[in-house]
Structure 1
Amino acid sequence: MSKKVLLGSTALLGALSIGSTSVFANETADNNNKAKDKELELIEIHGARNSLYSVKQSGDIRRLAELVDTPATITVLTKDQIEESGRSDLKEILSTQAGVTLGTGENGNAFGDRYIIRGHEARSDVFVDGLRDPGMTTRESFSVEQIEITKGPSATFAGRGSSGGAINSITKKASLGYDFGRVDGGIGSDDYYRVSVDVNKPINEDFATRINLMKANEDAPKRPGAERSREGALISGLYDDGNKTKVWADVYYLNAEDVPDLGTTVVNDKIIEDIPVYAQNGDFMDSEAWSTTLRFEHQLNDTWKLYNITRYGETENGYVATSAGGTSGYANEADATNQENGFDTFALGSHSNAQEVEHVATQFNLFAELSHGSIEHKLLFSAEYADYSVKNYSYDNIRDFVTSNCWTNTRRGVAEGFCGLDSNGNAADGLNSALDRSNIVKGALKNDYNYEVAAISIMDTIQLNDDLMIFAGLRLDSYDYSNLTNGRDGEALYEFSDTLTNGHFGVVYEVVDDINLYASYGTATNINGGESDVGGNCGYGGVCTDSEGSANAEPETVTNIEIGTKMSLNDEKLFVQIAAFQLTKDDIMEGAGRGYDVTGALNTGKHEVTGIEVAMNGQLTEKLSIQVSAATMDSEILKSESNPDSIGLPLALFADDSFYAQARYQLTEDFAFGGDFTYKSGMTGGQPDTGSNGPDVPAYRVYNLFATYNFSDDVTARVNLGNVFDEEYYTSTYRAPKFMYIGDRQSLRATVTYQF
């Protein structure tokens, strides 16, 4: 049996490198009608020597047109880009991207991966290989080939939600075309280490397996005491009969154990800079997830193909975290009473939640390529069933103070308390042991959320002639919803059913070769109580009804109108997109007051986001690779019965301007260097779908550098310098702002890759 086929082209070697996304993710599409040669020929993988910043095709098998011909804004991040940036958690990766910001919150949704895309909540719109990944959890990139960010309503593909967009991770899969092994080992500042293994092995002419393992640990850069620990595995197998049938099966596992850091706070309208880590002994944020996925592909005949993906998974999350609340401290009771001789400090608060998630989903896709005269159709008929169960719990015995060192005067009155900073601005003695965490126990059930849905959709990509393509889709989601909440107003059960209808329509016109103009219209809908982590907290996306528990609210509706151009330049090595959009959300369910109960207003809000986005990725020259995304947007509250004073205000946690650029320059055959730059304009704190005043989160700029050197065909080294100028910056804030997340400070890491 022939062992290797040597590939001469540098570009092709890059596409087939282990970091390549386009080959692995789209191997199925490329070989739909090809029987494999039983005399197996293996493609040689040249380790980490080559880097790919561009792909032509989405890794979602349902997207039948190339990205340049797709009438939507889709940003694809390749494995190479992610690795060279030095980031690993999904939250870190996406926080840099234009048009995406991070959210925060109290208790139930303070942690996990919470994203806001084009001003709209997307924490429930995270997908893995096209299936929703429910619940608030930590997500890692060790098992990922590429990450795709779809901007604008995506309900035809995603179902309910996906108002501003969706995130879809394409996982690594076993392949018969490769026989490789790769080990990455890294060390760095802040007690950083990371080891990962990726091995793909054909067992015989019909079976292959792929094993990915990862273990990592670090302190948050320059914040010792705030810790992050990860360990994960993805084991994948493939059966390929070489003719019509392929079957993949995989098992995924991730365990994340952190000591969380809620960042800094504001006192007297001033951010406390260089705040010490105040996490208490016993604070934790643990997330454990596992799932098993089965994929089946069968070519029925020359026209029809069937593809099914089925997944079952469970996740357990829990955290007890300490927050800092800016306040004034006093040396004695008299000063506190008279509010004299005070000093700026912060008090400690506790936040906690536990979550159990169980999910099962299956999706059947039937593809057909048909012709009617000169008109060509690529049809997709899809049927999906999913059942998500999310239980949220509290923790008890987390607020016991061990000691007091000052007096405070708050809305609760004058009392002894603990001040994190003394009158000289220094960290107080016993800062990390002021609260007793030794008796923490899992408490009562806060809410039991269940969402069961059956959906059908039809999509058609119509090539009318050489220059004109039409894309149309329609989806129906029939769901049953129940949510047993146990909140401040007691226990209540909410149950209702409905059918959601969404669609999209797009036109693509090729002006000249490889330069297209497009226009699209798409919709999405959100249901009452759609966020699974907040129960009856109307203000954060929980059940929002009247006091009797009526669930007669109409779905929130989202529409998006977008026009733009897409270009494939530089001999199809460089992709460029420019898009202008107007995204309108109507019939918004608004929280009342602080939003801690279910007495919000139904279908009484409306807001709009307009903007322009620019994206560019691929090869500018033979040696220079780039990935650039930029967005300038404007948001406005158009209608609000719950809070009329907010009309005209911008959305909370919304950055008007954002920019990200990553570049890599291949100076010599063995040496390359590059870096990335992130800019986000100032944001205000607040709840989803609400307006707010004031620049709570200042604008920030972050610079990072990397360099790689190939010692041989099999050994490559990379050095990453994060936050080159060691700037303290903030990525998100709570509405008070009671806490403000701190971005990573300066870090230095070195990674060696060995291929065998």
Structure 2
Amino acid sequence: MPTTTSRSIAQGASTLAIGCIGLFSAFPAMAQDQQGQQQGQQQGRGGEGQNLGGVTVTDTAVDEGTYKVERLSSPKATAPLVDTPKSITVISRQVLDDTNATSLSEALRTIPGITMGAGEGGNPLGDRPFIRGTDSSNSIYLDGVRDLAATARETFDIDSIEVTKGSDSVTNGSGNGGGSINMVSKTPQTKRFANVDGSLGNADYKRVTVDINQPINDFVGVRIAGMYHDQGYAGRDAAWVKRWGIAPSIKFGLNGPTSLELDWYHLHSTELPDQGIPYLYTIANQPSANYQTAPAGTNLRPRNAFYGLVDRDFRTINTDALTARFEHNFESGLKLRNTARYNNTTQEYLWTQPDDSKGNVGTYGTVGRRALSRYAYQTGYVDQLDLSGQFNTGALRHSFAAAAEYSWQKSGFGSFYADANGTSLPLSISCPTPTSGTNYNCTSLASPNYNDPYVGSIVRGAPNSMTLADSSTASASLFDTISIGEKWKLNLGGRYDHYVTNASAGITTAATGLSLAQTWATTNRTWVSRTDDIFTYQAGLMYKPVQNGTFYISTGSAAVPPGSFLAQGSEDNSLTGTNSVNGGAISANDLKVQKTTSYEVGTKWELFDGNLLLTLDGFQTRTTNARTTDPTTGGVLFVGTKRIRGVELGFNGNITPKWNIFGGYVYQPSRVTDAGLTKTVTGANTAYAVAAAQGKPFPNTPQSSATLFTNYKVTSKFTLGGGAIYMGKVYGGFSDTRQANANGTVTILTSRATYVPDYWRFDANASYKVNEHLSLRVNALNITNKLYYDQAYTTHYAHQAAGRTVIGTLSLKY
């Protein structure tokens, strides 16, 4: 598999290079065509065109210093950000460039309060952001359309990233309990420009991006973005990633009131995944009754220790998306827009998780090579119709947006096996010595050899072994910002969703007298179906004492119906889980929708002539109907509740024309207020007590976090900047051992929390503009070479971040 994947990477890079050479050949004609054109305003996304040697280009954010974005891209956003009663942060293209954020996960590190959750088998590898304590992997959107698949996302075709915090189902549908993420893609513009960036760095870092915009005439324009990326990871042996992507688009009606835009996006990625570092102790062998265990430290193993197998481990992703967007602006000021998108994503991987489950790490200094695997697909279609505009009713001024949407999605995933008969790859391996087990399934904590040979087979499971799911949604929504005089605004929104989902668990157990392979071939599937009708809302009241300032109070709701992750994420309320009571299946319609309500009070101010946005808010988000286990029957209960409260400070924009800043601070203590009960049996004694998570903080939710990124233009050519990230202690999970007493009480014998410690990370960057066409930039990421962990899994392992990475970028602009 790695050989085939490497060949496809090479072919993709060649295709991209040939396409770019063809476009470069048009540059002289582009320049000649633009002789004498005057400076003008770029349509769509900020920035002014400049005439540079006869070629009109759009100044990038590096030149203009644009960190502040005025409003969201969606027509559902009926007011500028300063007049929107929600906590919203927009990562502009400038911030992406200055921080060298080439993936979604790297971009989100610039926003405090967001952590990235770790994956394994049940939690597939991919972008898994946690916002205000909630897994938001099913709340990621591209141009306002859901991008559900568990995958790793790039930024080469992204113009900005919009992050909304708080319950947000009213905007885009199911999910969004803690917030949502919308990526805004690049589109054809009215001004000609071409940007080419080439980067080199340590750890074999290589990257090339191309962004070419060419109006054919006043009616038709085209744009193409391309990328090739190849890197290792500083301080992490063996792991690497290679990817390439291309995103052409064409727009008809470039300057008119009516337009049709057609886009295609393709991304191919292959890598040797970094499996991370095992935790030091299990609950069975921890040195004290109450213990918090971090990953095994460098006093026990080298910083660059890699526990995977180069001969076995791999990950491959393919993503394709086709989009058609029609838009018409009426003379009355109304805007009608229809977006249709078809997307398909496939992912397959087999990777080694360093296994602490048998107590090998803390007792023997050995690590089990737990093989986790998945092959999966997700495909879907969505059509979204928006109508937006303004009107008056007496003294009230309305800015409204109405939307109707239909979507369907289907997905499936299965596992790899050691042979066609369904023999499992190694899991939960006991390793008293590094040589125990077969086929190098065990290795040393202190000196693992990732070149140990793997001589087994890797076989996809049969179709009947796959878990399948599909859903369809029909929805309608209405938003209105009502201006009451000059000082008061009322923001209202409501959404109705008719959600239908179906799921079928894969067959994983052999029937009596049959092998697993025979069972796969002869057993029929069982499907479970469910329908939900959901209403969500938002409401906010704003007071503007002056034009550049707003005080507000708001509330909003979110709803996560059972099965909404479509087998693509860590779903705690799936249709295919253990939905049974005393061994008997219960109806899917007895499951409940998980509900979240958010409250927020805050203020927003535009300072320094509107160039800097400063925000401050206090919030509470409370989730009910969280799924728990009935301790008496082993069935399903919906009594779980959790709550997070906090305060957030945000800032982005320019303090002076030469000095910009971006970042914020979040303090968000969280608490599981009801985790349900667990049943404990000790001999003849049975007792019930609250679950281990009761009263504990949320996993993947630091109490405090902060970011600050800044740039200062020292001269007209030289810019110097840097960044700081603080992340508080992050818990992976909680567990305990118990004893039931004769009087019906439970005694906690031992308790354990997995966590990764808090850390500070510092970055630096500098750029020099050689002339109007050529500039240089250097980024030093994690400049102090800090050893830290950026993902914490419940058990087994935590992900170690890359060490110091220095990248030089040469930019060519026409």
Please indicate, yes or no, whether the TM-score normalized by the shorter chain is above 0.5. yes
Shift of 1:538: 4.3
CA-to-partner distance for each residue in 1:314-354, whole Å, 9 max, x for gaps?
A: 11111100011248999xxxxx9xx9xx6423221111111
Alignment of 1:479-558 (within 5 A): 479-486=499-506, 492-533=526-567, 538=572, 543=577, 545-546=579-580, 547-551=584-588, 552-558=590-596
The change in CA–CA distance for 1:132 and 1:4 in structure 2 (over 3 A counts) is farther
Shift of 1:443: 4.4
Gaps of 5+ in 1: 17-22, 31-40, 331-335
**Aligned mate of 2:460, from 441, 458, 469:** 441
Distance between the aligned counterparts of 2:45 and 2:143, measured in 1? Answer: 10
SS in 1 for 2:451: helix
CA-to-partner distance for each residue in 1:373-408, whole Å, 9 max, x for gaps?
A: 221111211100010101111111188999xx9952
Distance between the aligned counterparts of 1:167 and 1:536, measured in 2? Answer: 18
**Is contact 2:295-2:797 (8 Å) kept?**
no
Pair 1:458-2:493 in alignment: no
**Is contact 1:406-1:418 (8 Å) kept?**
no
Q: Residue 397 of structure 1 aligns with which residue?
A: 418
Q: Residue 656 of structure 1 aligns with which residue?
A: 703
Alignment of 1:142-157 (within 5 A): 142-157=156-171
CA-to-partner distance for each residue in 1:284-316, whole Å, 9 max, x for gaps?
A: 111100011011111234143211111001111
Question: What code does the residue aligned with 1:463 have?
Answer: S
Q: Residue 813 of structure 2 aligns with which residue?
A: 755
The change in CA–CA distance for 1:2 and 1:326 in structure 2 (over 3 A counts) is closer
Q: Residue 793 of structure 2 aligns with which residue?
A: 734
Distance between the aligned counterparts of 2:570 and 2:136, measured in 1? Answer: 19
Distance between the aligned counterparts of 1:100 and 1:353, measured in 2? Answer: 26
SS in 2 for 1:98: coil
Shift of 1:589: 1.4
Distance between the aligned counterparts of 2:573 and 2:501, measured in 1? Answer: 19
Pair 1:634-2:665 in alignment: no
Alignment of 1:201-212 (within 5 A): 201-212=214-225
Distance between the aligned counterparts of 2:68 and 2:259, measured in 1? Answer: 27
The change in CA–CA distance for 1:619 and 1:542 in structure 2 (over 3 A counts) is farther
Q: Residue 687 of structure 2 aligns with which residue?
A: none
Q: Residue 656 of structure 2 aligns with which residue?
A: 621
Distance between the aligned counterparts of 2:393 and 2:359, measured in 1? Answer: 78
Question: What code does the residue aligned with 1:223 have?
Answer: R
Q: How many residue pairs end up in the alignment?
A: 706
Question: What code does the residue aligned with 1:74 have?
Answer: I
Distance between the aligned counterparts of 1:362 and 1:698, measured in 2? Answer: 44
Shift of 1:642: 4.3
**Is contact 1:484-1:492 (8 Å) kept?**
yes
SS in 2 for 1:156: helix
Distance between the aligned counterparts of 1:42 and 1:169, measured in 2? Answer: 29
Q: Residue 55 of structure 1 aligns with which residue?
A: 69
Pair 1:573-2:631 in alignment: no
Distance between the aligned counterparts of 1:541 and 1:725, measured in 2? Answer: 47
Q: Residue 251 of structure 2 aligns with which residue?
A: 238
Question: What code does the residue aligned with 2:149 have?
Answer: G
Distance between the aligned counterparts of 1:534 and 1:292, measured in 2? Answer: 21
Q: Residue 104 of structure 2 aligns with which residue?
A: 90
CA-to-partner distance for each residue in 1:468-501, whole Å, 9 max, x for gaps?
A: 1111011000011100112667964210112100
Pair 1:743-2:781 in alignment: no
SS in 1 for 2:177: coil
**Aligned mate of 2:355, from 307, 312, 325:** 325
Q: What is the alpha-carbon root mean square deviation over aligned residues?
A: 3.0
**Aligned mate of 1:254, from 267, 277, 288:** 267
The change in CA–CA distance for 1:370 and 1:132 in structure 2 (over 3 A counts) is same
SS in 2 for 1:529: coil
**Is contact 2:76-2:479 (8 Å) kept?**
no
After alignment, is 490-499 or 348-357 more displaced? 490-499
The change in CA–CA distance for 1:2 and 1:288 in structure 2 (over 3 A counts) is closer
TM-score, normalised by the number of residues in structure 1: 0.88
Shift of 1:686: 2.9
SS in 1 for 2:156: coil
CA-to-partner distance for each residue in 1:512-549, whole Å, 9 max, x for gaps?
A: 23111011110010111222236997478964632414
Pair 1:181-2:181 in alignment: no
The change in CA–CA distance for 1:487 and 1:300 in structure 2 (over 3 A counts) is same
Gaps of 5+ in 2: 1-32, 49-53, 282-292, 511-524, 679-689, 736-750
**Aligned mate of 2:149, from 126, 135, 157:** 135
Question: What code does the residue aligned with 2:760 have?
Answer: R
Q: Residue 33 of structure 1 aligns with which residue?
A: none
Distance between the aligned counterparts of 1:635 and 1:489, measured in 2? Answer: 39
SS in 1 for 2:726: strand
Distance between the aligned counterparts of 1:329 and 1:241, measured in 2? Answer: 64
Shift of 1:553: 1.8
Pair 1:696-2:755 in alignment: yes
The change in CA–CA distance for 1:512 and 1:652 in structure 2 (over 3 A counts) is same
Distance between the aligned counterparts of 2:199 and 2:696, measured in 1? Answer: 46
Shift of 1:599: 5.7
Distance between the aligned counterparts of 1:407 and 1:634, measured in 2? Answer: 39
